[in-house]
Amino acid sequence: MTPTEIGALLRKLPQVDRLVNSAAVETLIDTHSRSLVLSECRALLDSLRANALAGEIAADELSEDSIIAQLGARLSQRQMPYHRRVINATGVVLHTGLGRAPLADEVTDALVEQLRHPVRVEIDLESGLRGSRDEGCAQLLKELTGAEDATIVNNNAGATLLLLSALAEDKEVLVSHGELVEIGGSFRIPDIMEQGGARLKAVGTTNRTRASDYDKACSSDSAMVLKVHTSNYRVVGFTEEAEIGELCDIGKKHKVPVVHDMGSGCMVDLASRGLRGESWVRDSLESGCALVCFSGDKLLGGPQAGIIAGSAELVQKCRKHPLYRAMRPGRMTYIALEQTLRVYLRGEEESIQAIPSLRRVLESEEVLTERQQLLLKELDSLTDLVVQPLDHDGYAGSGSLPARPIASKGVQITTSRMPVQELARLLRTGEPAILPTVQDDAVILDVRTIEKTEIAEIAARVAEIVGS
C-alpha cells in the first residue's frame, strides 16, 4: 500500500465523539455503560489505526457500520465470564481443566439457597459460642467411612502436606519406591515430604515392594508408613506391592501409623461394577489405617477439598497445626461437601444416580449407544458435514482409575468447510463452549460426558459453524 492509500484509509476512521452519538452506540451504552463503551471504542479505533498504518486492513472494515459491529462484539466478549459452562465432550469424566466433578442437583440447590444468607460455619447454635468448622462434614464422614474423626482442607495436596507436617516433622516416613509419584504440576511426593519437614525413606524397588521390606525398614525414628495411590500410571509386568492389611500389621508391630493417600475418595464399590483400580475409603480404614486422605472432587463427586479421616487423636493433631489455618476452606466448600456426603447416606444405587461423576463413570453401554444414536441423528441432517459413529476410549480422569480406559461411544465429525483444528476451535470458543478431542483428522464428541439435554445444543452449534 502506498502512503497516499494509507492516508486515505486513516481519514476514513470516524471520530470517537461521532461514533458515541450514533443511535446504535446509544443502545450499547444502555446495556453496558458510557465509560466502558468509550474505553472499548478508543481501544478499537487505536487497533484499527495501527492496522491501517501497517497496511493490513480493508477499507470496508473502517466503515461506521463495521466499526459499530466490532464494538458490539468486543463488548459482549468482555461481558462473557472467564469461568463459564463448558459441554465436556472429551469422555474424560473428571477433567481437571473443567473443574473436575460436576455437582449433584441437590448440592447446587443448597449452594444457591444458602449462599445469599449468612451460613452457620462454626457457631454452636445450642450455646451461641464458637463451635467446630469440621463438625458438619465430620459427622457424615464418620457414619459413611467408620472414621473416628475427620478434618477438611482446601485440597488433597494440602491434606498430604498438612499430615506430614503435623505427624512426621523431623522424622522418617516410609514410602515404596514404586509410589514416589508426581501427581501433576509440582506436586511430587519427595518434594511434599521435604516441604513437610519429613525424611523420606524409600522402601523396596520400583516394580516390587513386599511387606517384609517395610518391616525391615521400620526403626525407632519412623513416624509413618505412607501408602500413595499411583494416580496417573500403573506399574505392570513383574510387580508386587504390599496389601494395605499387611502394611497395617507391620505398622501395629512397630507402633507406626499407616497413612493411605488414596487420591480419589471412592465411597462406592466400583470393583463389583466392573471398574478395578480404586480402593474404597471404608476398606482402608477397616484394614487398620490410622488415617486416609483423599480429594473431594475426584470420584467422591463433590467440591474441591482435601479430607483427612481416621484416628481422632491424629486428626486433632492435624487440626491443631498452624498450617491448618492456612488451608481451611470457605463456606461454599462446607455446604457443597456436606450435601454431597448426605447423598451417600441414601445408599449406593441412589448415590450413583444422583452424583454426576459416578453416574458418568458407570454409564451403561445401552445408555451410551442410545445417546450416540441421538447425536448422530441430530447431526446427520446437516449439510457439508461428514458424521460417523465410533467406539472411543473414555477415562475417569484426574488420576482416578489410572491408565484404565473405559470403553465409550462417540461421534466423529469433519466438514469440507474448514480444517478440523478450526472446527474444534470454533466449538470451544462459542456459546455454550464445547470441548471435543481431535484425533485422526476428525473432531470427536464422546457421549459419556455429554448429558442427553446437551445434544440439541451441540447440534445447534455445529449447524451454526458449518452454516447449514
Ligand X SMILES: *Cc1c(COP(=O)(O)O)cnc(C)c1O
Residue 397 or 410 with smaller CB distance to ligand X: 397
Residue 98 or 368 with smaller CB distance to ligand X: 98
Q: How far is the CB of 394 from ligand X (least distance, A)?
A: 19
Binder among 176, 209, 295, 449 for ligand X (CB under 6 A): 295
Q: How far is the CB of 229 from ligand X (least distance, A)?
A: 4
Binder among 151, 156, 284, 415 for ligand X (CB under 6 A): 156
Number of residues that bind ligand X (CB under 6 A): 13
Binding mask 254-273 for ligand X (x = CB under 6 A): -------x-x----------
Kindly state whether residue 415 participates in binding ligand X, applying the rule CB under 6 A: no
Residue 45 or 228 with smaller CB distance to ligand X: 228
Per-residue H/E/C for the chain: CCHHHHHHHHHHCCCHHHHHCCHHHHHHHHHCCHHHHHHHHHHHHHHHHHHHHCCCCCHHHHCHHHHHHHHHHHHHHHHCCCCCCEEECCCECCCHHHCCCCCCHHHHHHHHHHHCCCCCCCECCCCCCECCCCHHHHHHHHHHHCCCEEEEECCHHHHHHHHHHHHHCCCEEEEEHHHCCEEECCEEHHHHHHHCCCEEEEECCCCECCHHHHHHHCCCCEEEEEEECCCCCCCCCCCECCCHHHHHHHHHHHCCCEEEEEEECECCCCHHHCCCCCCEHHHHHHCCCCEEEEECCCCCCCCCCEEEEECHHHHHHHHHCHHHHHHCCCHHHHHHHHHHHHHHCCCHHHHHHHCHHHHHHHCCHHHHHHHHHHHHHHHHCCCCEEEEEEEEEEECECCECCCCCEEEEEEEEEECCCCHHHHHHHHHHCCCEEECEEECCEEEEEHHHCCHHHHHHHHHHHHHHHCC
Binding mask 97-136 for ligand X (x = CB under 6 A): ----------------------------------------
Q: Considering only the stretches 38-46, 156-164, 166-174, 246-254, report the one whose residues sit in contact with ligand X under the rule CB under 6 A.
A: 156-164
Q: How far is the CB of 94 from ligand X (least distance, A)?
A: 10
Q: How far is the CB of 194 from ligand X (least distance, A)?
A: 16
Kindly state whether residue 183 participates in binding ligand X, applying the rule CB under 6 A: yes
Kindly state whether residue 340 participates in binding ligand X, applying the rule CB under 6 A: no
Residue 229 or 392 with smaller CB distance to ligand X: 229
Residue 67 or 181 with smaller CB distance to ligand X: 181
Kindly state whether residue 329 participates in binding ligand X, applying the rule CB under 6 A: no
Residue 136 or 263 with smaller CB distance to ligand X: 263
Binder among 178, 301, 397, 399 for ligand X (CB under 6 A): 399
Cell of 380: 446427520
Binder among 151, 155, 339, 414 for ligand X (CB under 6 A): 155
Residue 19 or 157 with smaller CB distance to ligand X: 157
- Tell me which residue has its CB nearest to ligand X: 263
Pair 305, 296: CB distance under 8 Å: yes
Q: Considering only the stretches 57-65, 151-159, 266-274, 449-457, report the one whose residues sit in contact with ligand X under the rule CB under 6 A.
A: 151-159
Residue 118 or 185 with smaller CB distance to ligand X: 185
Residues that bind ligand X (CB under 6 A): 155-157, 160, 183, 228-229, 231, 261, 263, 295, 306, 399
